[in-house]
Amino acid sequence: MHESNTPPRRVAVIGGGITGLAAAHRLVELAPSVQVTLFEASDRLGGVLRTERRDGFLVETAADNFITTVPWAIDLCRRIGFEDQLIPTNSGYRHAFVVRRGKLHHIPDGFVVMAPSKVWPIVTTPILSPLGKLRMAGELLMPRRRQAGDESLAAFIRRRFGRETYERLVQPLVGGIYTGDPSRLSLQSTMPRFAEMEQQHGSLIRAMYKQPKRKEQGSGARYSMFVAPRDGMSSLVSAIAARLPAESIRLNTPIRQLQRTERGWSLSLLNSPERAAEFDEVIVTTPAKPTSRLIATMDEELAGELDEIHHARCSIVSLAYTRDQIAHPLDGFGVVVPAIERRRILSASFSSVKYPGRAPEGSVLIRVFIGGDCQPDLADRSDEELLQIAHEELQQLLGIRGEPTMQFISWRAKMPQYFVGHTEKVSRMRSLLERHQGLELAGNAHDGVGIPNCIHSGEQAAERLMLTAAREAPQTNPV
């Protein structure tokens, strides 16, 4: 019988956010004999995902749910036995509001991000003027775009539906998703489905009407398709980490530099007795700019492409009130604010309305988003200013009396922005990466924001490594 003396392959995963965790878990799934080491610079896993419990409130610091229309997150939850921990949104309030002249109005039923699927809600909505409604209807007569290449979300919507639909509905909805400026965001990289609708059907309205009709009533987003962990995102992080070998996780170990060696890859370690560690392959899942710094000495061109990816700054403020402090019925999941309203917030999410267990009985938890690419200076205000801005805006929009019973700066972070031409940039990056055998890059700077896309990115990186390793493995015949 043939016994191999070949040492096990060693793979490093740099970054302990959801992308890195998904990559490490997929490696362990595909090749249990591979020695996986996950390096995280901080003292905890999860990256921006973190759940805080304060005074009976469950507060998410970043994403608080994920969509199930793409399979990658829900599939991972099934594989780790976590699916029974997922809860749906509250079925009674699956719609959202938009601000017009300081007042909250329901986003028209059936209007999903960038296009309507129902006539009457558009006819009766006070959000659009009669001329704005006529221009929206005129989308049925607009010709397909003939030019090849990418265009911005704003240019696409203004071309198809007119300026008013863009300013009053699409811009605030897109801004709420990407914290970005739709005049710079790439249609092809963010919402390619709508470009496909135009080319296939000649009209987005026609395409929406040809889709299978859902029984669910709602607006703004497909809220029935969203789920959240019952005990918060940190419970999902812990569940994935529990499936990894305990010795594979190294916290408080930032990586200073990544270098190619004759036999693989060398990682320069900080805060460690070891000065360097050697691996056969590496998956880097850190954000674009830290990744750029890691690889700068080995590939200036690839590092430059990564460094050019713009990030929008955004802060999240979580505020709590007793229910009787708030005049608004809160009969929806949140509100988005058009830039044309010239207010100081992007949006507000009614967390305790969306999901149970987020606030004590008789209390309400609201998350307020401040900053983004349309108001970048606001995101960098002091904690005191952010709390004041959030409270004052909610006071005016929701009719709140008195001070918050709990307040918390949940998140100060940067969201990658997929500008026009991002698809081509990613293609160039992948071509440059082919120079470096055994190195993979993953994360939300590449192919999609949101938890499912991050999980998919990490798992794909792991699968590519294992596929390459299988092709290169020496073939031996048993004796």
324 and 404 in one domain? yes
Residue 70 has pLDDT above 50, yes or no: yes
Give the separation between CA 287 and CA 445, rounded to whole angstroms: 7
Alpha helical stretches, state H, 183-339 = 187-190, 192-201, 204-210, 233-241, 288-295, 300-307
- If you write DSSP's letter for every residue of 235-266 in order, what string do you get? HHHHHHHTTS-GGGEE-S--EEEEEE-SSSEE
Q: Which of 416, 431, 453 is the last residue of a domain?
A: 416
Residue 271 lies in a domain: yes
Give the separation between CA 324 and CA 380, rounded to whole angstroms: 32
Residue 192 has pLDDT above 90, yes or no: yes
433 and 393 in one domain? no
375 and 454 in one domain? no
Model pLDDT for residues 393-429, shown as the tens digit of each residue: 999 999 999 999 999 998 777 899 999 999 999 999 9
- Asked if 27 contacts 461 with a C-beta cutoff of 8 angstroms, the reply is no
123 and 206 in one domain? yes
Give the separation between CA 433 and CA 261, rounded to whole angstroms: 16
**Beta carbons within 8 Å of 315's beta carbon, 6+ residues apart:** 369, 370, 371, 378, 379, 381, 386, 409, 411, 412, 413
Compute and round to an integer the Cα radius of gyration of the chain: 24
161 and 15 in one domain? no
Domain containing residue 157: CATH number: 1.10.3110.10
259 and 326 in one domain? no
Residue 119 lies in a domain: yes
316 and 406 in one domain? yes
140 and 188 in one domain? yes
434 and 287 in one domain? yes
Residue 227 lies in a domain: no
**Beta carbons within 8 Å of 429's beta carbon, 6+ residues apart:** 302, 305, 306, 441, 446
Whole-model pTM: value is 0.93
Residue 472 has pLDDT above 70, yes or no: no
Residue 178 lies in a domain: yes
CA terminus-to-terminus distance, the chain: 5
286 DSSP assignment: S
Q: What is the number of domains present in the chain?
A: 3
Q: Which of 358, 450, 462 is nearest to 68 (CA)?
A: 450
User: How many residues would you count in the chain?
Assistant: 479
Domain containing residue 24: CATH number: 3.50.50.60
Give the separation between CA 450 and CA 207, rounded to whole angstroms: 25
Q: Which of 448, 465, 454 is nearest to 20 (CA)?
A: 454
Q: Tokens for 261, please give them.
A: 């060696």
Tell me the residue range of the domain where 452 lies: 10-47+233-309+419-472
225 DSSP assignment: G
Q: Give the distance from CA 137 to its chain's centroid.
A: 32
Residue 57 lies in a domain: no
Rounded to the nearest integer, the mean pLDDT of the chain is 93
Q: Which of 151, 183, 213 is the last residue of a domain?
A: 213
Per-residue confidence (pLDDT) for residue 389, from 0 to 100: 98
Model pLDDT for residues 329-363, shown as the tens digit of each residue: 999 999 999 999 999 999 999 999 999 999 999 99
Residue 478 lies in a domain: no
189 and 250 in one domain? no
Per-residue confidence (pLDDT) for residue 475, from 0 to 100: 52
Residue 1 has pLDDT above 60, yes or no: no
Q: Which helix H or strand E contains 60, and what residues bound it?
A: strand 57-60
Residue 221 has pLDDT above 70, yes or no: no
Find the angle CA(450)-CA(453)-CA(458) to the nearest 5 degrees.
125
Q: Which of 393, 286, 351, 357 is nearest to 62 (CA)?
A: 351
273 and 155 in one domain? no
Residue 75 lies in a domain: no
Residue 103 lies in a domain: no
Q: Tokens for 452, please give them.
A: 């499912």
- Asked if 367 contacts 318 with a C-beta cutoff of 8 angstroms, the reply is yes
Residue 59 has pLDDT above 50, yes or no: yes
28 and 146 in one domain? no
Averaged pLDDT for residues 214-241:
80
279 DSSP assignment: E
